């Protein structure tokens, strides 16, 4: 059952991105020496908020059916806003619009990690269990709840309701742990380091049999599979991560990566031998046929658990083609 959750604004809420903020910094004090209101205000997410957010998904579904790019922009933000911009334009040029699954049985993931309780900037995560478990992140922007990320399908079995409840009692302590905040903040950067360093010289800890390990193997093998074409892959940070404190110094981090693939003909060839993207996708995104070289980007949406021992495991993942452009980036 959905519950009314009240939690102090968490230092673990990573609304300022991955860099520049000291994880152990103390909030600025007001004139009487008390912490600033944004650090102490109780941030409340109610069932009405969750209902309003899910009602917005129905409106978003209709906007996609009508290829109404302006409406889609109004109903999305963060990662989904980035995806919607180019995908809607491609849908108008013939690419199928994303299909929508009606999710039910949403559960608010406690604690509700938010920037403050004053309006824009607030956010919350929901785990919807049916028809298959998936996470959604909703962000308050422009005076309304917008879809920030989701659905992000859960890997394996979804957390049991009792496990979700257990986080509510312990999350505050984890949020106060500057080490947990720092570990959460570095999750996206460590993913980039792991995916771009097959030898793992940096010693990034990824759980065995994790989907991110499979992604790394795929990216490493891609250039050889494209021969005689020349193919290069780059992995970049995308947007700002958002995190929720978990018991025992762990955190659940919602974030995204951009995988950029550039492909050009090999020596002695004027066209691509093994084009990475189909002709229909190329035409929808570029308005023309395949050029001598192509650059595509894919967004990988992740919900990652990081433990006190800095071991990362993928809780949920979704991959979406974000753009195709003629020419190569390198």
Rounded Cα distance, 194 and 17, in Å: 19
Rounded Cα distance, 87 and 96, in Å: 9
pLDDT in tens, the chain (330 residues): 333 333 322 233 333 333 333 333 333 433 433 333 333 233 578 878 888 888 889 999 999 999 999 999 999 999 999 999 999 999 998 898 888 888 888 888 875 443 233 445 788 999 999 899 999 999 989 888 999 999 999 998 877 665 555 444 444 434 446 788 889 999 999 999 999 999 999 999 999 999 999 999 999 999 999 999 999 999 999 998 999 988 888 999 999 999 999 999 988 888 898 999 988 899 999 887 766 789 999 999 999 999 999 999 999 999 999 999 987 765
What local confidence, expressed as pLDDT, does residue 56 receive?
86
Domain ranges of the chain: 5-326
What local confidence, expressed as pLDDT, does residue 50 receive?
87
Rounded Cα distance, 291 and 241, in Å: 35
What local confidence, expressed as pLDDT, does residue 246 receive?
87
Rounded Cα distance, 231 and 221, in Å: 10
What local confidence, expressed as pLDDT, does residue 111 receive?
52
Burial label, 140 (beta-carbon count in 10 A; 0-12, 13-18, 19+): buried
What local confidence, expressed as pLDDT, does residue 137 receive?
95
What local confidence, expressed as pLDDT, does residue 245 receive?
87
What local confidence, expressed as pLDDT, does residue 164 receive?
53
Residue from 124, 204, 210, 106 nearest 171 by CA: 124
Rounded Cα distance, 200 and 36, in Å: 42
DSSP 8-state code for residue 10: P
What local confidence, expressed as pLDDT, does residue 4 receive?
31
């Amino acid at each position: 059952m959905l519950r009314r959750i009240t939690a102090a604004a968490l230092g673990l809420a990573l609304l300022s991105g991955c860099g520049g903020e000291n994880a152990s910094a103390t909030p600025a004090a007001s004139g009487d020496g008390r912490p600033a209101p944004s650090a102490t205000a109780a941030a409340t997410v109610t069932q009405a908020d969750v209902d309003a957010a899910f009602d917005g998904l129905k409106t978003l579904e209709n906007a996609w059916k009508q290829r109404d790019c302006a409406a889609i922009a109004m109903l999305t933000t963060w990662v989904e806003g980035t995806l919607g911009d180019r995908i809607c334009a491609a849908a108008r040029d013939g690419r199928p619009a994303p299909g929508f699954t009606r999710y039910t049985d949403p559960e608010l993931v406690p604690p509700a990690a938010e920037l403050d309780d004053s309006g824009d900037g607030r956010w919350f995560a929901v785990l919807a269990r049916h028809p298959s478990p998936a996470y959604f992140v909703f962000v308050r922007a422009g005076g309304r709840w917008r879809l920030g990320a989701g659905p992000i399908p859960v890997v394996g079995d979804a957390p049991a309701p009792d496990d979700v409840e257990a986080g509510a009692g312990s999350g505050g302590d984890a949020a106060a742990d500057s080490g947990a905040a720092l570990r959460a903040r570095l999750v996206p950067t460590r993913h980039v380091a792991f995916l771009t360093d097959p030898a793992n010289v940096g010693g990034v800890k990824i759980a065995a049999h994790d989907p991110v390990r499979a992604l790394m193997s795929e990216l490493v093998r891609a250039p050889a599979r494209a021969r005689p074409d020349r193919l290069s892959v780059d992995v970049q940070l995308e947007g700002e991560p958002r995190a929720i404190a978990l018991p025992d110094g762990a955190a659940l981090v919602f974030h995204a990566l951009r995988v950029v693939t550039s492909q050009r003909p090999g020596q002695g060839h004027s066209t691509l031998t093994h084009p990475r993207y189909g002709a229909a996708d190329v035409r929808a995104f570029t308005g023309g046929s395949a050029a001598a070289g192509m650059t595509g980007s894919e967004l990988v949406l992740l919900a990652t658990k990081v433990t006190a021992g800095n071991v990362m495991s993928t809780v949920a993942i979704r991959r979406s083609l974000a753009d195709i452009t003629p020419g190569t980036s390198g």
